[in-house]
Amino acid sequence: IAGTSPTIDTESINDLLEYLKNNLKKGDILSLSGSVPNSLPTSIYADIIESLPNGVKVVLDTRGEPFEAALKKGVFLIKPNQDEINEFFKANFSTNEELINAGKKLQAMGAKNVLISLGAKGSIFISDSSTYIAGVPKGELISSNGSGDSMIGGFIYGLDNNLDLENCYKYGIASGSATAFSKGLAKFETTQTLLKEIEIKNI
C-alpha cells in the first residue's frame, strides 16, 4: 500500500536541515531513502548532504533526478538494483561484467561504495579496493517487499559495529534475505542464522 506523499512546508525543511547540521557528527550514518514527496524539490537529498558536517556517512537509495543530484555531492554507499542502473544509464546491462563497469562509473560520479542488488541472482558489492559477488542463501521466498531496505539496514548494522566492509556486505545480504523469507520484516535471529550460509567471492 503506497499512500499519497504529505505536503511539507519550507519551514519544516529548514528545521530539518538545521537539526541535522547541529546534531550529526563525524562518523554518524545517515540513510536517505525512498522517493521525494511532490512538495519538495528534487534536489532535497543533495541539499541535505550539503548541510551535513564533514565525515557523516551518507547511504543513498533513491532513483531519478534526486539520485543524480545527491550522487554529485559524494556519498558513502548507494544501493541500486539492476533496473535502476539501466534506467540511470539508459542501457540494458545484464552481465556481471557490465554491471560492475557501471558500478565503477557510479563510483567516479560520487559513490565511494556501490551495492547492486540482483534479486534472486544475488548481488555485487564494489568498494574502493575490491569487488565482491554473492548469491542468496537458501530459503522460501514469501515476499521481496522491503528486502532492499533490510539489506541497507543490515549493512548499516555492520558499519555501526565497526565491521569491515566485507562483513557489512554479509549482514546486508542476510538481512535482505531474512525479510524476503518472512511474512514481515527480518528478525535478528533469522539474520544471524542466514549469515552462516553466505559465501562471498572476491573477484
* Residue 127 resides in a domain: yes
Q: pLDDT tens, 73-129?
A: 999 999 999 999 999 999 999 999 999 999 999 999 999 999 999 988 899 999 989
Query: Would you tell me how many other CB atoms lie within 10 Å of the CB of residue 153?
Result: 22
Residue 171 lies in a domain: yes
Cα 180 to the center of its chain, rounded Å? 16
φ/ψ of 111, rounded to 5, equals -100, 125
Span 32-51, average pLDDT = 93
Backbone angles phi, psi at 115, to 5 degrees: -115, 115
Q: Is 152 inside a domain boundary? A: yes
pTM of this structure: 0.90
Q: Look up the CATH number of the domain holding residue 146.
A: 3.40.1190.20
- Per-residue pLDDT, averaged over 59-72, amounts to 94
Residue 53 lies in a domain: no
Contact status, residue 199 vs residue 181, Cβ threshold 8 Å: no
DSSP-assigned beta bridge partners for residue 115: 125
Higher pLDDT, 46 or 183: 46
Q: Are the C-beta atoms of 57 and 28 separated by less than 8 Å?
A: yes
Count of domains for the chain: 1
**What is the span of the domain harbouring residue 129?**
79-202
- The DSSP secondary-structure symbol of 56 reads P
Whether residue 18 lies inside any domain: the answer is no
Burial label, 20 (beta-carbon count in 10 A; 0-12, 13-18, 19+): middle
In this structure, the dihedral spanned by the alpha carbons of residues 31, 69, 123 and 119, taken in order and rounded to 10 degrees, is 90
Q: Is residue 175 part of a domain?
A: yes
Residues annotated as part of the active site: 149
**Read out DSSP for 2-33?**
-PPPPP--HHHHHHHHHHHHHH--TT-EEEEE
Considering the domain boundaries, does residue 114 fall inside one? yes
Amino acid occupying residue 41: P
Residue 135 lies in a domain: yes
Q: What is the pLDDT of residues 114-143, one digit of tens each?
A: 999 998 889 999 998 999 999 888 888 888
**What CA–CA distance (Å, rounded) separates 150 from 156?**
10
